[in-house]
Amino acid sequence: MLSLESIRIFMRAAETGSFSAAGRSLRLSPSVISYRIQTLEEHLGCLLLTRTTRRMNLTEAGRVFYDRCLDVAASVERAEKSVETQGAAPRGTLKVTAPLSLGRRVVAPLIPAFRERHAEADVHLRLSDHLLDLVQEAVDVAVRLSQMRDSTFTLRKVADVERMLCAAPAYLDAHPALEAPADLLDHSCLLLRFPGSEQFRWTLLDGDEALTIPVSGRIDADDSDVLTEWALQGQGIVLKPVYEVAPYLADGRLVPVLPETPPTSVTLGVVYPSRKMLPNRAKTFVEMTTEALRGYVGGQLELVGKRAVR
């Protein structure tokens, strides 16, 4: 007879594409994951997953079985909810990732409050300005500030975020005037760099035309807060979401650069894997995070008289 645990392991392996990622998510070793799936395949008498050195893929039988497992998982969730008491606490492990700035200021402070309400839920927080592979890393909830392209995840949109170029008055006073986007080529631009980063190409909007400028600078970092500090110290021009630099714009420590040709906007949102059964712990955290982000961004933008676009 099939066990729900074996079904859960199979589904996680199928979703992450690797025994290692599934093991990290479920706190099991890859060998245990492999053994449980092999046992499941022997019981069913068919191959569910094809394995290569880089990736696992569902076989035709595996796809059919996975779809049926989704129905089983949904039925189990409904059964659990039917006997849950009012306010029952989510349980299990929650893996969360967020950009460094928002992670420090908004997401990390939420976790103690989340744990006070849901003491039986464990939380693993990973902060990085490098966009992680949510499937490979088995992430349950991610805060993303980007041009969302991956339709395999569900997006809870917080706001469309305007970005701007800005610099300290002292830097601008000591360097050539900026009158057009091409003038950036003669300036020190503070860049967010990490493997695969595209931040050394800034796309600005000149009316309906998008202009991509291959900017450069003598210093860069993989932490966006460091770039802000360097900009405040007069080290160069930085590209930032408006809400991140709102306090410094309000007090004059930073000023806009090329405001008539602003950078393209990005979407701030909370994303999670698109599957029918989202764990209660993830649902709760998504709600808390979305509300907190809207409050934080809205409060910052009020400093410069702007409103977030929902």
CA-CA distance, 131 to 203, in Å (whole number)? 19
293 part of a folded domain = yes
Residue 308 lies in a domain: no
> What is the predicted pLDDT for the residue at 87?
47
Residues 290 and 256 in one domain: no
Give the residue from 58, 83, 108 where a domain finishes.
83
Task: Tell me, yes or no, whether 169 lies in a domain.
Answer: yes
Show the low-confidence residues of the chain (pLDDT under 50).
Answer: 84-87, 310
State whether 130 and 248 are in the same domain.
Answer: no
What is the domain extent for residue 283?
Answer: 92-158+267-302
pLDDT at position 190:
95
Work out the percent of the chain whose per-residue pLDDT is above 70.
Answer: 87
Q: How far, in Å, are 27, 225, 306 from residue 7 at the CA level?
A: 16, 43, 49
Q: Which of 40, 51, 55 is CA-nearest to residue 1?
A: 40
C-alpha distances (whole Å) from 59 to each of 46, 72, 136, 152 are 9, 19, 19, 19
Same domain flag for 150 and 280: yes
pLDDT of residue 243: 93
pTM of the model: 0.70
* CATH number for the domain harbouring residue 173: 3.40.190.290
Q: What is the pLDDT, as a whole number, of residue 286?
A: 92
- Asked if residue 260 and residue 168 are part of one domain, the reply reads yes
28 and 174 in a single domain? The answer is no
Confidence at residue 41, expressed as pLDDT on a 0 to 100 scale: 86
* Same domain membership, residue 96 and residue 133: yes
| 216 and 79 share one domain | no
* pLDDT value, residue 93: 83
How much is the pLDDT for 260? 94
Residues 97 and 69 in one domain: no
In the chain, the number of structural domains is 3
Asked, for residue 309, whether it belongs to a domain, the answer is no
DSSP class of 84: P
The pLDDT of residue 86: 42
Torsion of CA 18, 222, 194, 24, to 10 degrees: -10
Domain's final residue, options 48, 83, 118: 83
Do residues 228 and 198 both lie within one domain?
yes
